[in-house]
Chain A
Amino acid sequence: MGCFQSKARRQYPGYEDPVNLASQTAFSVSEVEALFELFKSISSSVVDDGLINKEEFHLALFKNRKRENLFANRIFDLFDVKQKGVIDFGDFVRSLNVFHPNASHEDKVDFSFKLYDLDGTGFIERKEVKQMLIALLCESEMRLSDETIEMILDKTFSEADVNQDGKIDKLEWQEFVSRNPSLMKIMTLPYLRDITTTFPSFVFNSEVEDIAT
């Protein structure tokens, strides 16, 4: 175990002890170990450096390393907690944990706010919402006129921007999602509750007996 960990630490910058990560997250020790197997696979798919770069993240999500997607880029940026252009193992597990059914609602609301605050200004601005709408229209088959897009933006800001200053702050966002709980559905991935049985496709090699977390 000690040998395994020191080797992992050498090969995977940002590797953290599964017991420690399990204590910080809703994942069990064996689930963190399973996530490490997944992490090893993704992080070696383009450059075998023990870290996930943006290209590898896109490849894992879309099976296409060149595909551009605004939301995938934004999720990558949020997973890249240290802002080094790569995701290390510890941040991978802690970031995925936000999507765990047992993660706190506050963490989910906070993450979703950051996800939509594209420029990181501390506000969700109208131009950012428009950018996201246009991005999703480009991705999907949906076609909406400029006038319709502006109508949707007007409706959104009349509901969410309570103080009518043209941007949504975190408190307004918290109140908005409490009135629209369906918006938080995308922040929970039910299968994270039991990843070792739901996703048997990735190799699982537990060397630690599970402890209650």
Chain B
Amino acid sequence: EQPTSMNAFELISMSQGLNLGNLFDH
């Protein structure tokens, strides 16, 4: 899917490099 066919929040939620699961890997 081309980025331009998505809205900004779809891109943000897809690409968000934040995995709270890493907290549990402490």
Contact = CB atoms under 8 A, between A and B. Distances in A.
B20 to A, nearest CB: 6
Interface in A153-197: 153, 155-156, 159-160, 176, 180, 182-183, 185-186, 189, 191, 195
A56 to B, nearest CB: 10
B20 A99 contact: yes
B26 A75 contact: no
Contact of B22 (A62, A153, A159): A62
Contacts of B21: 189, 191
A38 interface: yes
A156 B9 contact: yes
Interface string A111-146: 000001000000000000100110010011010100
User: In which size bucket is the chain B interface?
Assistant: 20 to 34
A201 interface: yes
B26 A144 contact: no
A122 to B, nearest CB: 18
Nearest to B5: A155
B11 to A, nearest CB: 7
User: In which size bucket is the chain A interface?
Assistant: 35 or more
Contacts of A191: 21, 24
Contacts of B9: 116, 129, 156, 160, 176, 180, 183
Given A75-B18, A139-B17, A38 B24 contact: yes
Interface in B1-26: 3-4, 6-13, 15-26
A139 B15 contact: yes
A10 B13 CA distance: 39
Interface of B: 3-4, 6-13, 15-26
27 contacts: A41-B26, A45-B26, A60-B22, A61-B20, A62-B22, A71-B18, A75-B20, A99-B20, A116-B9, A133-B11, A136-B17, A140-B15, A152-B3, A152-B4, A152-B8, A155-B8, A156-B9, A159-B7, A160-B7, A160-B9, A180-B7, A180-B9, A182-B10, A183-B9, A185-B13, A199-B24, A202-B24
